[in-house]
Amino acid sequence: MDMKRKKELLSEYRNRRTQMGILSYRCIATGESFLGASTDIHADINSLNMKLTSGYHPNRQLLSLWKEYGKDGFEISVIEELEYKDGEEDYKEKLEALREEYLEKDPTSKKIWK
């Protein structure tokens, strides 16, 4: 790949509009659910799946269930997408507050990331 094309692809990646929101990993067998606030849902799902599959995720309960039931034993979904206009603004606090609302609605749910 030539340098010009590489720079174009890098620029496109940096300027893309990411999907933000609350994602859920629910174990089908046990019904346990784990919620995460994400500023880039696609990237976070890829990262989480890689960490869980390789056995190096900090959430030991989620990791244990993943080892027992595997990826097919989980329902991975976006439970709410955050609509936003400005990609430069920091939405982490808003996403955290939204996740807390979902955790309050279902006190059996846990955070994906501590």
More confidently predicted of 44 and 114: 44
Q: Answer for the pair 37, 95: CB distance below 8 angstroms, yes or no.
A: yes
Contact between 78 and 10 (Cβ < 8 Å): no
- Which pLDDT tens digit goes with each residue over 6-33? 888 777 777 777 899 999 999 999 999 9
pTM here?
0.83
pLDDT value of position 105? 95
Q: At 54, which amino acid appears?
A: S
